[in-house]
A and B are shown apart, each in its own frame.
Chain A
Amino acid sequence: MQTNFFRKIIFDEKSRSLLIQTLVIGLFALFIYLITQQTAYNLEKRGISSGFDFLHISAGYDISIRLIPFTSEDTHLRAYFVGLLNTLMIAVCGCFLATIIGFLVGIIRLSSNWLFRNIAYVYVEFTRNVPVLVQIILYYSILLNLPKIKQAIVIFDNFYLTNRGFFSPSPIFKDGFSIVAWSLVIAIIFTFFLKRFLKKKQEETGKQYPTFMINSAIIIFTPIIFYYIMGMPLEFDSPVLKGFNFKGGMVIRPEFLGMLFGLSIYTAAFISETVRSGIISVSKGQREASQALGLKSNFIMRLIIIPQALRVIIPPLTSQYLNLTKNSSLGIAIGYADLVHGFGGISLNQTGRAIEIMMMVMLTYLTISLTISFFMNLYNKSVQFKGNA
C-alpha cells in the first residue's frame, strides 16, 4: 500500500508535477513570510513607526495642478486622490493624442508620396530611439523658454501663451445651461438609433445615405439651437494680468503640456508602427477585390482594410497604452504633480512612510493597468472574426 503511494508519486506524471508545484508554492510562501517578519522586525528595531494613520492627518503642502479643490489643510488621503486624478488625466489625454498621431503617421508611412512617407519615417525612427525622459525634459525646456508672463503672446485677445502656461477664458454656466447639455445628450442617443435605422434601410433597399453627414449636423446644431432658445446661458471669464499672474480664466500648465507632448509623441511612434503592420497584414487580394467591385478608395480603407487590420493592431496597442500610463510617472522629472510626484514623493517625505506609500502607489498602478487591459481585451474580442471560420 505504502510502496504503491510512493511509486505513484515518483512514476505517475500527474502526481509528481502536483507534488513539485506544491513544494514550489510552499517555498514561495515561506520566503514571503520570512521577508515580512524581517521587515517588521527591522522597522521596529529602528524605531520607525509604520501604519496607515498618516492618511488622515493634514498634508501641509499645496498642489497647483489639480482637478479637485485641495489646500494645505486637507489630508494626505486627499492628496492621493489629487495625484491619482492627475495621473489619470495625463494617461487619458496622452493615449487619446498618441492614438490620433499614431494612426495618422502609420497611414502616411504607407503613402505613395515620397516626401510624406519619409518625413513620417524620420519621425518614427527619431522619437522611437530617444529615451522618453529626455524628450519630456526637452519639450518642457522649450515651453519654459516661451515669453515671460509680462510679455505673453496674445491670441484672439483672450488667450495668452507664456512660460507659465496657456491661459484661456473659462466658461461660466448660468441657469438653463443644463437644458443645452441635455439636448446634446439626447441628440447623440438619437443619432445612434438613426444610424441603425438608416443601415437597415440600406440593407433593404440598397440605397446609401450620407449617415455621417446627417448625424454630425444633428449633433452640432441641436445644442446650438437650444443655446439660443434658452437665451445664451453661457458667459466667459477672461484671464486678466494682475500683479504677478493672470487672474481668472483657465490655465494649462507647461508641466502638463511637457508631459503630454513627451508621452504622446513618443508612444505615437510605436503605435504608428503597429498600425502600419496591421494594414500590411491585410492581404493584397482584399484591396484588389474591393477595387474590382468599384468601391471608392476611402470606402476600401474604412470598410475593408481597417476592420481587418484592427485584429492585428489591438493587442500591441493595448501594451502601448499601458506603457504610456506607466511612463506618466516620469512627471516627477519636471514637477508634474502626478501620483508618484505628489503622494509618492512629497507625502512620503513629510511622513516617512516609504513602504506604505509605495505599496499604495504600486497597487494603484496595477489597478489602472489591469482595468485598461480588461477593456482593451473586451474591445479586442469585438473586432475579431465572428463565427467559426
Chain B
Amino acid sequence: MTKIKSLFISLVLTLGVSTAIAGSHGSTHDLVKERGKLMCGSNTGLAGFGAPNDAGVWEGIDVDVCRAVAAAVFGDASKVEYVPTTSKVRFTVLQSGEIDMLSRNTTWTLSRDVDLGLEFVGVNYYDGQGFMVNKSLGVSSAMELDGASVCIQVGTTTEMNLADFFKANGMSYESVPVETNSEADAAYTAGRCDVYTTDASGLYASRAGYPDPSAHVVLPEIVSKEPLGPAVRHGDSEWADIVRWSLNAMIIGEELGITSANVDEMKSSKNPEVLRLLGVDAGYGAMLGLSDDWAYNILSQVGNYSESFEKHIGPNTPINIQRGLNALYKDGGILYAPPFR
C-alpha cells in the first residue's frame, strides 16, 4: 500500500522534484552567498508591507526584513530579488527551494510550523483579523453581520477564523472567495460583498487605496491572533538563526535608540550592548558565520524597527496604523527581542 502511495506521489511532481533536488544540497547560507543575492518571497502587493513603489522598488516592513538579511549577509541591503507569491503558493515556493526566505504577512501557526516543514523565526507584526464595511450600512459591530456576504482571501487562516466566528455566534454568511488582495478590493468596492475580512493591517492598507477611504470603517472586533513573521525551511538552523537575528537586530536597535542617522556616533557609545551589536566588540558576527559589522549594516542601511514602521505604515503614512501591540514591551506593546549577548 505504501509502495503504491509513494508511486502515485512521485508521478505528479516530476518536474517540481528536479528543483527540489537542487535545493537540498548545501546550506542556504552558502547558496545565497554563491548566488550573490537573496531570493525573498514577498506579497504580490500589499501597501506598506510589501509592494513596489512608483519607481518599481519594493518597499514595506516585510520587505525591510528581506533587506536586513541581505545587509547582514552581503553588507548591501539592495542585493535582494523579490519573488511575489500569492497566499496559496507561498509555502510551496519556499519548500521547493525557489526562495531562501518568506517575508509576506504570514501567520505563525502550529500546523504551518510543524506540518509544512517550515520554521518561523520571529514576529515582525502582531496582527489580528478584523472586518471592514461601508459606513452607509450603519453597522457598528461584527455581531450585526448576520446574513452578510463576506469577501475573503483563500488559503489563509482568515478563512477558518471567519467560519469559527460566525458559527460561534450563530450567524450565517455567504463566503465570496478571492485569490489576491486586489481582487478582494475589486469585489468589495463593486458591492459583490458587504464585508471584507482579513488581518486588520491588510484592511488599513486596502482602505488607503480606495477612492474615498473615509467611507469605510474597520469594525472594533478583532477575532484572532495573527502573529506575522518571516519563515524559512525547516532543518537549516544556521540560516534560521541569521534571519531571526537580523529581525532581532532591528528591534534591539530601537530598544537601544540606534537609528540609521546616529549609528556611526553610537559606535563610540559607552553601552557595552551597543558595542556588541555594532561589532565594535568583535566575535558575535562569527558565531552566525557573518562579518562582525552585520548588525551595523542592517541599522545603517535599513534602520531600526521603529524607523521601518513609521516610514511604511505609521500614523504619518496613508496606511495610518498606531504602534499598539507592536510597540516595544517597555512602551506598552509586546515587541520583545532576546538579549544580544
Q: How far is the CA of A221 from the CA of B44 in the complex (A)?
A: 59
Which of B9, B91, B160 has a CB less than 8 Å from the CB of A50?
B9
The answer to whether residues A243 and B146 also contact, given A46-B95, A163-B192 and a CB cut-off of 8 A, is yes
Q: Do B154 and A346 touch (CB < 8 A)?
A: yes
The digit string for B280-305, where 1 denotes a CB below 8 A from any CB of A, is 00000000000000000000000000
Is A161 part of the contact surface with B, judged by Cβ < 8 Å? no
Contact of A47 with B87 at beta-carbon distance under 8 Å, contacts A244-B149, A335-B178 already known: no
CB within 8 Å of A: which B90-106 residues: 91-92, 95
Chain A residues 52-92 with CB under 8 Å of chain B are 52, 60-64, 71-73
Q: Does A247 contact B (CB under 8 A)?
A: yes
- Per-residue interface assignment for chain A, residues 316 to 354, with 1 indicating a CB less than 8 Å from any chain B CB and 0 otherwise: 000000000000000011010100010001101111101
Which residues of A are found within 8 Å of B163, using beta-carbon distances? 60-62, 72
Q: What is the chain B residue whose CB lies nearest that of A245?
A: B147
Q: B190: which of A52, A145, A332 is its contact (CB, 8 Å)?
A: A145
Contact across chains for A247 and B13 when beta carbons are under 8 A apart:
no
Please pick, from A148, A351, A355, A362, the residue contacting B191 in the complex, using a CB distance under 8 A.
A148
Complex Cα distance, B92 from A348, in Å, reads: 10
Identity of the chain B residue whose Cβ is nearest the Cβ of A358 in the assembled complex: B12
Nearest CB on B from A66, distance (A): 11
Q: Does A242 contact B (CB under 8 A)?
A: yes
CB-CB nearest in chain B for A52? B5
- Does A384 lie at the interface of the complex (its beta carbon under 8 Å from any beta carbon of B)? no
- Specify which chain A residues have a CB less than 8 angstroms from the CB of B17 in the assembled complex: 35, 38-39, 42
Chain B 74-94 per-residue mask, 1 if CB under 8 angstroms from chain A, else 0:
000000000000011001100
Asked if residues B6 and A64 are in contact (CB atoms below 8 Å), the reply is no
Q: A45-B235, A61-B159 are in contact. Are A335 and B147 (CB under 8 A)?
A: no
The yes or no answer to A370 lying at the interface (CB within 8 A) is: no
Q: Does B10 contact A (CB under 8 A)?
A: yes
Interface segment, B169-177, B202-210, B241-249, B265-273?
A: B169-177
Interface string of B1-41 (1 = CB under 8 A from A): 00001111111111001001100100000000000000000
> Chain B's nearest CB lies how many Å from the CB of A53?
11
Contact B115 A352 (CB under 8 A): yes
A244 touches B145 (CB 8 A): yes
Bound-state CA distance A332–B117 (Å) is 26
Chain A nearest Cβ from B216, distance in angstroms: 15
> At the interface, yes or no: A94 with Cβ under 8 Å from chain B?
no
B-side contacts of A38, CB under 8 Å: 10, 17, 21
Partner of A362, one of B9, B12, B167: B12
With a cutoff of 8 Å between Cβ atoms, the chain B residues found around residue A351 in the complex are: 115
Pair B11/A332 contact, Cβ less than 8 Å: no
Judge whether A345 and B192 touch: CB under 8 Å.
Answer: no
Separation of A117 and B59 alpha carbons in the complex (Å): 55
* Contacts A244-B147, A345-B155 given; does A332 touch B12 at CB 8 Å: no
8 Å CB interface, A348-389 against B:
348-352, 354-356, 358-359, 362
- Interface size range of chain B in the complex: 35 or more
Instruction: Answer yes or no: B215 CB below 8 A from chain A CBs.
Output: no
B21 engages A332 (CB within 8 Å)? no
Q: Could you tell me if A337 and B177 are in contact, using CB atoms closer than 8 angstroms?
A: yes
Interface residues of A in 139-174 (CB under 8 A from B): 144-145, 148-149, 163-164
B24: which of A45, A48, A355 is its contact (CB, 8 Å)? A45
Q: Check if B164 is an interface residue, CB within 8 A of chain A.
A: yes
Per the bound structure, the CA–CA distance linking A38 and B194 in Å amounts to: 48
* Contact B177 A346, beta carbon cutoff 8 Å: yes
Q: How many residues of A contact B (CB 8 A)?
A: 55
Please state if B177 and A335 are interface contacts (CB–CB under 8 Å).
Answer: yes
Q: Is the CB of B13 within 8 A of A352?
A: no
Q: How far is the CA of A40 from the CA of B5 in the complex (A)?
A: 10
Chain A nearest CB, measured from B183 CB (Å): 8
Taking a contact as CB atoms under 8 Å apart, the answer to whether A245 and B12 are in contact is no
User: Is the beta-carbon distance between A46 and B233 smaller than 8 angstroms?
Assistant: yes
Of the candidates B9, B111, B192, B235, the one whose C-beta lies within 8 Å of that of A40 is B9
B190 touches A352 (CB 8 A): no
Cβ–Cβ < 8 Å partners of A62 in chain B: 162-163, 173, 175
A60 contact set on B, CB distance < 8 A: 159-160, 163-164
Q: Are B175 and A64 in contact (CB under 8 A)?
A: yes
In contact, A48 and B95 (Cβ under 8 angstroms): yes
- B148 at interface, CB cutoff 8 A: yes
Task: Determine the chain B residues whose CB is within 8 A of the CB of A42 once the complex forms.
Answer: 17, 20-21, 24
**B5 near A51: Cβ-Cβ < 8 Å:** yes
From known contacts A148-B191, A243-B147, infer whether A39 and B116 are also in contact, taking CB-CB under 8 Å: no
Say yes or no for B187: interface residue by CB 8 A criterion: yes
Q: How far is the CB of A340 from chain B (nearest CB, A)?
A: 11
Is A32 an interface position by the 8 A CB rule?
yes
Nearest A residue to B195 via CB reads A244
A353 to chain B, nearest CB (A): 9
Contacts of B88 in A (CB 8 A): 345, 348-349
Q: Distance in Å from the Cβ of A38 to the closest Cβ of chain B?
A: 6
Complex CA–CA separation, A341 to B159 (angstroms): 14
CB of B179 within 8 Å of the partner chain: yes
Q: Determine whether the beta carbon of A350 is less than 8 Å from that of B155.
A: yes
Instruction: Determine whether the beta carbon of B117 is less than 8 Å from that of A335.
Output: no
How far, in angstroms, from A60 to B111 measured CA to CA in the complex?
Answer: 14
Task: Indicate with 1 or 0, residue by residue over B131-161, a CB within 8 angstroms of chain A CB atoms.
Answer: 0000001000000011111000011100110
**Closest Cβ neighbor of B184 among chain A residues:** A335
With A61-B163, A243-B146 already in contact, the answer to whether A335 and B176 are too (CB < 8 A) is yes
| Interchain Cβ contacts under 8 Å between A and B, 12 examples | A36-B6, A37-B6, A37-B10, A46-B117, A63-B175, A144-B192, A164-B149, A245-B174, A335-B179, A341-B154, A349-B91, A354-B13
6 additional A-B residue pairs with CB within 8 Å, beyond A72-B160, A164-B149, A337-B177: A61-B163, A71-B167, A72-B167, A247-B147, A351-B115, A355-B9
